[in-house]
Structure 1
Amino acid sequence: MTQANFSDDTQTITEVVTVDLVSDKPGVITTITTSETPASQFEDIKDQILTILSELPAYLSNFFTEYQKPLVTIGLILAGGVSIKVMLGVLEALNDVPLVAPFFELIGMGYTGWFVYRYMLKASTRQELLTEIDSFKEQVIGQNS
């Protein structure tokens, strides 16, 4: 049995080599088996984990840079969903307060009446409303459609 130690600046490798000789022919090697010690296996695993952890910030930075727009879109969709849930919860809580629900209905009916009076009764005001809607679409989309 021979034991070999190899070392360099970064790691030490300990390896156990077993050599069997043929008894009828002196000097002929039949099998060579090597086995690593458990300590060296542990060191290899530790080095791999440390390498992965040290490269993780660069990997995440590259991933975010490459997929920035889809990640921002997904984040905005999730934030919108959460804000809608919160708004519905607040409205539900306000609905349980006495006289608040009828007050909101009264405000809604009043605004609807004002909107019909302001924009729907005359052809000129309907045209004004269409112009405002087209202007808003142009601002949002960025082009005339």
Structure 2
Amino acid sequence: MSPDIETLETTEVQTLSVESESPVVEVKLESGPLATASQTTQDSSEWQEILDQVKEYLSLGVLKELFQEYRQPILVTGLVIGGLVTLKVALAVLSAINEIPLMAPAFEMVGIGYSAWFLYRYVLKASTREELSKNFKEVRRDILGRLED
């Protein structure tokens, strides 16, 4: 450093004095934990306010009221998502089984056999077709709760 610049250092504030023909200029630089402490506490208090708002919104009373108000859409959405997940898992299992050698032809034979039995059991005779129609109407009534003719 040149002899005309004097430096005074402390742990928290540095003061630089420059002496020349012009007026004296003094610069103070703040460093260390004091410069960021106020910003950190402000950020912390903002996060605490946000956290308090989230806690208030997700409190048991608010969630219970929200569920009571939107019970039907929530249940339908849950059932649809659950059904889609179940379908995806079932298709993945069937795809994995289908990759096993000789399982695909075995499934085809089972399908052909069941179709042949169904045709023989319910479609060939008029009396069995009436029985099938009666069973179908009963199942439809059980599902819908009424019989529509």
Taking structure 1 as the reference length, the TM-score comes to 0.66
Distance 1:118 1:48, change over 3 A: closer
| Cα distance in 1 for residues equivalent to 2:98 and 2:54 | 53
Residue of structure 1 equivalent to 2:143: 140
Q: Which structure is richer in relative contact order (CA contacts within 8 A, separation 6 or more)?
A: 1
Gaps of 5+ in 1: 1-37
Q: Which amino acid aligns with 1:75?
A: G
For residues 70-89 of structure 1, the aligned pairs below 5 Å read: 70-89=73-92
Q: Post-superposition shift, 1:69?
A: 1.1
Gaps of 5+ in 2: 1-38
Residue of structure 2 equivalent to 1:24: none
| Cα distance in 1 for residues equivalent to 2:145 and 2:97 | 38
| Cα distance in 2 for residues equivalent to 1:91 and 1:129 | 29
Q: Which amino acid aligns with 2:118?
A: F
Q: Post-superposition shift, 1:53?
A: 1.7
Number of residue equivalences? 109
Q: Which amino acid aligns with 2:109?
A: L
> Identity percentage over the alignment?
37
Runs in 1 of length 4+ with deviation above 6 angstroms? 42-45
SS of the residue aligned with 1:118?
A: helix
RMSD across aligned positions (CA): 2.5
Q: Which amino acid aligns with 1:56?
A: L
| Cα distance in 1 for residues equivalent to 2:105 and 2:50 | 66
SS of the residue aligned with 1:144?
A: coil
Distance 1:96 1:66, change over 3 A: same
Alignment deviations for residues 54-89 of structure 1 (CA, whole Å, 9 cap, x no partner): 453221111111111110111001111111111111
Residue of structure 1 equivalent to 2:107: 104
Bigger strand fraction: 1
Residue of structure 2 equivalent to 1:56: 58
Structure with bigger gyration radius: 2
| Cα distance in 2 for residues equivalent to 1:82 and 1:44 | 39
Q: Which amino acid aligns with 1:97?
A: I
Which stretch has the larger CA shift, 77-86 or 49-58?
Answer: 49-58
